[in-house]
Structure 1
Amino acid sequence: MSERVVGSERPLAGLFVVEAASFVAGPSAGMSLAQMGAEVVRVDPPSGGSDAGRWPLSANGSSLFWANLNKGKRSVAIDYRTPEGHELLVALATRPGPGAGLFMDNMVGRRRVTYEELVAQRGDVIQVHIQGRANGGPAVDYTINAEVGVPQMTGPEDSARPVNHVVPVWDLVTGMTAVSSMLAALTRRRETGEGAKVDIALADVALSGVGAMGWLAEAELARRARPRQGNHMFGAFGNDFVTSDGRPVMVVALTPGQWRALRDVTETGDVFGALEKALDANLDLETDRYRLRETISAVLRPWFAQRDYATVSALLTQAHVLWSPYRDTFEAASEARRDPDSVATEIDQPGIGRMLATGSPVRWGDERTGPVPAPRLGDDTEAVLSTMLGLTQTELGGLHARGIVGLGEREPGRG
Structure 2
Amino acid sequence: MPTPPPLSPHTGPLAGLKVLELGQLIAGPFAGKTLGDFGADVIKVEPPGDGDPLRLWRLLHQGTSVWWQVQSRNKRSVVLDLRTDQGRADVAALAAECDVLIENFKPGTLEKWGLGYETLAAANPGLVMLRISGYGQTGPYRDLPGFAVVAEAMGGLRHLMGEPGRPPVRAGVSLGDTLAALHGVIGVLLALQARQRSISPDAPKGRGQVVDVALYESVFNCMESLLPEYSAFGTVRQPAGSALPGIAPSNAYRCADGQVVIGGNGDSIFKRLMAAIGRDDLGADPGLADNAMRAARVDELDAAITAWTVQRSVADVVAVLQAASVPAGRIYTVADIAGDPHFLARGMIEAATTPDGLQLAVPGIVPKLSATPGAIRSPAPTLGQHTDQVLGSLAQRRKPGEAPA
TM-score of the superposition, structure 2-length normalised?
0.85
Alignment of 1:251-290 (within 5 A): 251-273=262-284, 276=285, 281=287, 283-290=288-295
Among 206, 213, 220, which residue is 2:219 paired with?
206
* 2:324 matches 1:319: yes
Query: SS at the partner of 1:166?
Result: coil
1:353 alignment counterpart: 358
Query: SS at the partner of 1:263?
Result: helix
CA shift at 1:338, angstroms? 7.2
Query: SS at the partner of 1:339?
Result: helix
Q: Kindly tell me: are residues 64 and 167 of structure 1, through their superposed partners in 2, closer, same or farther at Cα, counting changes over 3 Å?
A: same
- Structure 2 counterpart of 1:24, which letter? I
Range moving further from structure 2, 289-298 or 161-170:
161-170
Range moving further from structure 2, 343-352 or 177-186:
343-352
CA–CA separation in structure 2 for the residues paired with 1:71 and 1:290: 46
CA–CA separation in structure 2 for the residues paired with 1:227 and 1:177: 26
CA shift at 1:85, angstroms? 0.6
CA–CA separation in structure 2 for the residues paired with 1:337 and 1:373: 25
CA–CA separation in structure 2 for the residues paired with 1:9 and 1:53: 27
* 2:384 matches 1:378: yes
1:122-155 CA-to-partner distances (Å, cap 9, x unmatched) read 2222211112213232111101212233222211
CA–CA separation in structure 2 for the residues paired with 1:263 and 1:112: 65
CA–CA separation in structure 2 for the residues paired with 1:198 and 1:300: 47
Q: Kindly tell me: are residues 41 and 64 of structure 1, through their superposed partners in 2, closer, same or farther at Cα, counting changes over 3 Å?
A: same
Q: What is the alpha-carbon root mean square deviation over aligned residues?
A: 2.5
- Structure 1 counterpart of 2:159, which letter? Q
CA shift at 1:105, angstroms? 0.9
CA shift at 1:26, angstroms? 0.8
Contact 1:336 1:344 in 2 (8 A): no
2:201 alignment counterpart: none
Alignment of 1:50-89 (within 5 A): 50-89=52-91
- Structure 1 counterpart of 2:197, which letter? E
1:342-394 CA-to-partner distances (Å, cap 9, x unmatched) read 312222122571111112112222785444421112111111111244289xx
1:111 alignment counterpart: 113
CA shift at 1:59, angstroms? 4.0
CA–CA separation in structure 1 for the residues paired with 2:279 and 2:114: 63
Alignment of 1:16-415 (within 5 A): 16-95=18-97, 100-108=98-106, 109=109, 110-111=112-113, 113-134=115-136, 135-157=142-164, 159-192=165-198, 193-210=206-223, 213-237=224-248, 238-244=250-256, 246-273=257-284, 276=285, 281=287, 283-335=288-340, 339-350=344-355, 353-365=358-370, 369-371=374-376, 372-390=378-396
CA shift at 1:173, angstroms? 1.7
CA–CA separation in structure 2 for the residues paired with 1:329 and 1:165: 15
Contact 1:337 1:345 in 2 (8 A): no
Q: Kindly tell me: are residues 310 and 235 of structure 1, through their superposed partners in 2, closer, same or farther at Cα, counting changes over 3 Å?
A: same
Contact 1:358 1:370 in 2 (8 A): no
Contact 1:265 1:315 in 2 (8 A): yes
CA–CA separation in structure 1 for the residues paired with 2:86 and 2:348: 41
TM-score of the superposition, structure 1-length normalised?
0.83
Alignment of 1:2-21 (within 5 A): 6-7=7-8, 8-21=10-23
Contact 1:6 1:369 in 2 (8 A): no
CA shift at 1:337, angstroms? 9.1
1:311-345 CA-to-partner distances (Å, cap 9, x unmatched) read 22321221111011012223322336973323122
CA–CA separation in structure 2 for the residues paired with 1:112 and 1:131: 19
Query: SS at the partner of 1:364?
Result: coil
CA–CA separation in structure 2 for the residues paired with 1:382 and 1:336: 43
CA–CA separation in structure 2 for the residues paired with 1:337 and 1:171: 27
Q: Kindly tell me: are residues 182 and 227 of structure 1, through their superposed partners in 2, closer, same or farther at Cα, counting changes over 3 Å?
A: closer
CA–CA separation in structure 2 for the residues paired with 1:250 and 1:313: 9
1:410 alignment counterpart: none
Question: What number of residue pairs does the alignment pair up?
Answer: 375
Q: Kindly tell me: are residues 355 and 148 of structure 1, through their superposed partners in 2, closer, same or farther at Cα, counting changes over 3 Å?
A: same
List alignment gaps of at least 5 residues for structure 1. 393-398, 400-415
2:139 alignment counterpart: none
Query: SS at the partner of 2:196?
Result: helix
Identity %: 25
